[in-house]
Amino acid sequence: MGDGNENNPFLRAMVPPRAIIFDIGGVVVGSPLVGINLYEQEKGLPHDYINVGITARGRKGAFQRFERSELALYAFYKTFGEELSDLNSMNRWYTEFCKARRREVPQLPTDLQIDGRHLFGLMMKQSTRIDPLMETALKRLRASGKFRLAALTNNFAPPTAASPENSGGESAHAPTLEEELEHLGISKESQRIRDFFDEYIESAVVGMRKPEEGIYLYALDKLKVRPDEVVFLDDIGHNLKAAAKLGIRTIRVSAASCLQALRQLEQETGIELLDERQVEFEKERIREAEMAKNARKPKL
């Protein structure tokens, strides 16, 4: 018989987790949102304009279907670009987004042509470099032998053949398979990331994606743990909210730095996860980024 502590949420929160689940893009590696913002800058679009459109499409959107392997890569490029080039819908969704946050609606585009392949390539190339702080933390968690480590990622099945035709992008010719893999930033680094984890759960493989409830239940079953025995790190609010609804402990990773999130994970695990030399370097990087951001702000 148990001692009754399993029914006390306050006592459960004091118990170290048995498993830790990490998102990949925006947590272990760079965020594809950075690539989206770069594309917006290229095209003179408002900040987050494209991401708002991707999210507003919901489950039936090309991006969401692609991450469940319901669309093949080359068909995805075409549909992705067509959906995001729907000027009236995109402007309406972005206007609603701004008003809901009481922001002034900026000047919106009067013409919109989104290249799905180019945009997605920028997104993926931001998701290839392992964050050095996260790498140190993952190595120390594995070395402790105390936790099951899992990745839970919305991703896609990489191409295994060249496109039979130009996929609607700006290039005048159909790229070779090698060119396509390079365009997507796919390299041996991807396998090195997988090696950190006991379980690597991919939306493109299981046919479910965050924040759908089923993918969290699938992860819990694979890890053989209860929700309250898990800590989950992600950079997207609605992914964390869906996990928390099931009773999973959550930590949000900031787009600016994973430093604060790893401090929280240290408290959850009772393990020192950060190298202090890396911490000082990260604090300096954050200061420099903040100064650069302030310098870009228009002077009143």
| Same domain? 70 vs 143 | no
Indicate which CATH number applies to the domain containing 285.
3.40.50.1000
The predicted pLDDT at position 5 comes to 45
* Full-model pTM: 0.84
Please write down the HEC assignment for all residues of 86-145: CHHHHHHHHHHHHHHCCCCCCCCCCCCCCCHHHHHHHHHHCCCCECHHHHHHHHHHHHHC
pLDDT one-digit tens code per residue, 228-244: 999 999 999 999 999 99
Q: How many residues does the chain have?
A: 300
Residue 72 is part of which domain span?
Answer: 32-126
The predicted pLDDT at position 202 comes to 97
Domain count, the chain: 2
Q: Does the N-terminal peptide bond of residue 32 adopt cis geometry, omega within 30 degrees of 0?
A: no
| Same domain? 112 vs 11 | no
| Same domain? 2 vs 54 | no
The predicted pLDDT at position 160 comes to 83
| Same domain? 9 vs 61 | no
Ranges assigned E (strand) in the chain: 19-22, 148-153, 199-202, 230-234, 249-252
pLDDT one-digit tens code per residue, 161-211: 887 765 555 555 678 888 898 888 887 667 789 999 999 999 999 999 999
One-letter amino acid at 58 equals G
| Same domain? 174 vs 122 | no
| Same domain? 18 vs 91 | no
pLDDT along the chain (300 residues), means of 10: 46 77 96 94 96 97 96 96 98 98 96 97 88 96 98 92 66 77 79 92 97 98 97 97 98 94 96 92 86 64
Q: Are 94 and 53 in contact (CB under 8 A)?
A: yes
| Same domain? 224 vs 246 | yes
